[in-house]
Chain A
Amino acid sequence: MSDRIFGTVGLVLALFYAWATLQIQESFLSDAVGPKIFPLSVAVILGLASIAIILRPDSEPEWPHLSRLVEIGAAIVVMILYAEFLDVVGFGIATALATTYLTWRLGTGPLQSVLVGLATSAGIYIIFRLVLGLSLARGPLGF
């Protein structure tokens, strides 16, 4: 069943891709092939592969329990928040918080997680900022 859904999504994607390709504004100066042929052929093969997946699905993968899915979803949200707030609160705080959360959710005790989070943040800051001189996002506190 998963494969059939996957194939259907792929087919829709291929159709959408072909439609979006046809929307490309062609320049008056174009080569013999033009900017549309290649993406169109890609869309066609993508669609054919999707149809093949629908017609001959593999055996069902082992999907995780709902609780695990929620877990992954929460981690994604944390990562998105990390990306969004990196520029606001600065690298040090954002990294410490995100690492603490991930470490905790992977089964470490709360106190140890906080320690790992702080250590990771400090470690990366030292290696990447102080040793390698990479520019990391700066927060109001200067790190």
Chain B
Amino acid sequence: MDTLTSLAEGFVIALTFQNLALALLGTFLGTIMGALPGLGPANGVAILIPLAFTMGLGPTPAMILLTSVYYGAMYGGRISSILLNIPGDEPAMMTCLDGHPMAIQGRAGEALALSGVASFVGAFIATWGLILLAPQLVKFALLFGPAEYFALFALAFATLGGVASTNQAKSAFAAMFGLALAVVGVDTQTGVPRLTFGEVHLYDGLDFLVAIVGLFALSEVFIFLEHRHGASSAGPGTIKVGRITPSWKLLKSTTPTMLRSSFLGFVAGVLPGAGASLGSFIAYSFEKRLVDRKGTFGHGDPRGVAAPEAGNNAAAGGALVPMLALGVPGSGTTAVLLAVLLSLNITPGPLLFTNNADVVWGLIAALFIANFMLLAMNIPMVGLFTRLLMVPPRILMPIVAMISFVGIYGISGSSFDLLVMIGFGVLGWLLRKLDVPLVPVILGTLLGNTMENNLRRAVTISNGDYFTLVGSPLAIALWTVAVIGFILPIFVGRMVRARMHARRDTESSTAD
């Protein structure tokens, strides 16, 4: 009952003119970002962070704008998967398998509509899951002391490479590199400057927003320059969209699929190290095992379109659970959202639900509203988005670069930050070429200080006894999961990844 009251209060917050307008803007921009190959949800949110700051938005409106972008990008990814057989972002990879064959058969409109509905169902169920699960997780998290938090952060880093990671050494490298960057600046506890090499600009530490925009958005520009991939992916009149309303029969026959996939996707989203890409993969493979009796999956089976779309949208919602309740994001985009919260001076975690209840519930209510907007936007207006796919990257990418520059300059007004951002852009490009995941780098820079503070707090409380770090059953359990989570992918990672990429190679390495 408590929950419903809070939710009602959340709707009161979300249903203001400004917040509704922001949700609409966010969903619209998000769908575009998701649809354009090369710009995924993480890049999309990263590019728009400066916008949220320059508009001088408070925490709730800013989060409404950016999570709408996040949900919107999850919807948008499917459009280019279905029409062009190029996933708009990594989670939409699995949608290509059945979506594109449907489009070739002249059922593109149907596939788009069905996947729109599936996205809606997935996101809707996941938002309910978020409401029910997050407060429970908060109660659990209140048992955590500094030592447990330190272990939890270690767990997040150990599992961040994901089950599908091929090279754990590179994931570890990326996480440590991020932590190393976080150390730069004046030490918060003793006040001594660390690793600043006398550069005054560094005393405040590196601004993680600068790092994020550089790593995600600018490195994308370099990737495009490298391939000179400037032509539009959509040739004129490649595929006819056809009718864009799904028949009731089709919806009815795919309903069980959507429900099962939403559940699986949500679970995958909540678990650390899984995320939306894996959510859609699990949903698709499970459905294929379960209902594919005639071998129609992969040849334009509507259920093969519904399953991954419901799965990845549900996972997107699920990934918000650990981010809001524990302050430990499970995916790239939620890491970026965490960065936004931190720079708005709001610390996610158990206290968020008591101290900033308005932010949490306003956000959740806004997710519901955004989801309905997306459904409304994605079925009748899908034609508009398909036309936007014609904007060639040779025009789009410079605009992305310039908006990144303007945004960062707008936040700090210093050209030193612009240089740092360029540095991160180049670094991001190099790391992507070397197949080093970028998300742990971001998470490291974000969480490094909190992680260190928890370590120092824990040890100081116990008078310098380091064994306090493994001093409670809960801490030991977290460390065990962390170790298993780090070692497991070394054995099963290759297998999972090979199967995920069996039919699709993707250019993008910034996973959701």
Contact = CB atoms under 8 A, between A and B. Distances in A.
Given A53-B170, A82-B405, A107-B231, A76 B195 contact: no
B353 interface: no
Given A53-B170, A102-B397, 15 more contacts: A2-B434, A20-B195, A26-B192, A61-B435, A68-B226, A71-B228, A76-B422, A83-B418, A86-B415, A102-B398, A103-B395, A103-B398, A120-B399, A124-B406, A134-B54
A114 interface: no
B417 to A, nearest CB: 9
Contacts of A110: none
Contacts of A132: 51, 54-55
A86 B189 CA distance: 37
B463 A134 contact: no
B182 to A, nearest CB: 9
B183 A25 contact: no
A8 B190 CA distance: 33
Interface in A1-44: 2-3, 6, 10, 17, 20-21, 24-27, 29-35, 37-39, 42-43
Given A49-B169, A83-B415, A134-B406, A33 B394 contact: no
Contact of A63 (B394, B433, B460): B433
Interface of B: 51, 54-55, 166-167, 169-170, 172-173, 176-177, 179-180, 183, 187, 189-195, 197, 218, 221-222, 224-228, 230-231, 393-395, 397-399, 401-403, 405-406, 409-410, 413, 415, 418-419, 422, 425-426, 429, 433-435, 451-452, 455-456, 459-460, 463-464
Contacts of B173: 10, 46, 49-50, 53
7 contacts: A20-B195, A21-B195, A34-B190, A35-B194, A42-B180, A80-B419, A128-B410
A46 B177 contact: yes
Contacts of B225: 68, 71-72, 75, 102, 105-106
Q: Which of A43, A75, A80 has the most CB of B within 10 A?
A: A75
A102 B221 contact: yes
A49 B170 contact: yes
Given A116-B398, A124-B406, A107 B422 contact: no
Interface in A107-132: 107-108, 116-117, 120-121, 124, 128, 132
Contact of A120 (B195, B224, B231, B398): B398
A96 to B, nearest CB: 10
Interface string A54-90: 0010100101100010011001100110111011000
Main secondary structure, interface of A, reads: helix
**Interface pairs A-B: 5 shortest CB-CB:** A106-B394, A52-B169, A83-B418, A107-B230, A102-B398
B459 A33 contact: yes
B395 A46 contact: no
A26 B190 CA distance: 8
B509 to A, nearest CB: 11
B395 A27 contact: no
Interface residues of A, number: 69
B336 to A, nearest CB: 21
A124 B177 CA distance: 34
A58 to B, nearest CB: 6
A47 to B, nearest CB: 9
A35 B459 contact: no
Nearest to B403: A124
B226 A72 contact: yes
Contacts of A33: 455-456, 459-460, 464
Nearest to A79: B422
A83 B261 CA distance: 47
A28 to B, nearest CB: 9
Contacts of A91: 406
Contacts of B401: 79, 98-99, 102
Nearest to B413: A135
Contact of A58 (B166, B228, B394): B166
Given A29-B190, A99-B398, A75 B176 contact: no
A50 B434 CA distance: 13
Contact of B409 (A32, A39, A86): A86
Contacts of A35: 187, 189-190, 192, 194
